[in-house]
């Protein structure tokens, strides 16, 4: 598979990214290298090889949940710079484009 400018433009559009021509050329080269690598991997004969699900055979060791006391809503909001009595209030950080 050959990576071309229209493919890079489409991926950039889908990811909502903008690149200048130098960046686009570098991305095109990197994508082509990745595709060549994956194509080489696809050529390997994996007959009889079990799929690798995890890099390690370690199993998570979990403890039992312990019920512990917690603080009240009032105590939790006591040191908050802004709140409405029930919830923390924070400045808006996401803006519509």
Asked, for residue 32, whether it belongs to a domain, the answer is: yes
- The domain of 14 spans 5-43
Asked, for residue 60, whether it belongs to a domain, the answer is: no
Asked, for residue 22, whether it belongs to a domain, the answer is: yes
Asked, for residue 82, whether it belongs to a domain, the answer is: no
CATH, residue 10 = 1.10.20
Asked, for residue 55, whether it belongs to a domain, the answer is: no
Asked, for residue 87, whether it belongs to a domain, the answer is: no
Residue at token pair 């433009």: 9
Asked, for residue 53, whether it belongs to a domain, the answer is: no
Task: Say how many Å lie between the first and final Cα of the chain, rounded.
Answer: 35
Number of domains in the chain: 1
Residue 19, Cβ density class (10 Å: 0-12 exposed, 13-18 middle, ≥19 buried): middle
pTM attached to this predicted model: 0.51
pLDDT in tens, the chain (97 residues): 899 999 999 999 999 999 999 999 999 999 999 999 999 999 999 999 888 887 788 888 888 999 998 999 899 899 899 999 899 999 888 877 7
């Amino acid at each position: 598979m050959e990576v071309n400018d229209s493919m890079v433009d489409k991926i950039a559009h889908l990811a909502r990214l903008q690149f200048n021509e130098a960046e686009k050329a570098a991305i095109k080269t990197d994508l082509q290298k990745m595709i060549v690598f994956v194509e080489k991997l696809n050529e390997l004969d994996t007959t009889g090889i079990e799929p690798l699900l995890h890099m390690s055979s370690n199993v998570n060791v979990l403890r039992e949940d312990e019920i512990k006391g917690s603080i009240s809503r009032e105590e939790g909001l006591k040191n908050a710079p802004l709140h409405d009595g029930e919830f923390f209030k924070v400045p808006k950080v996401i803006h519509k484009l």
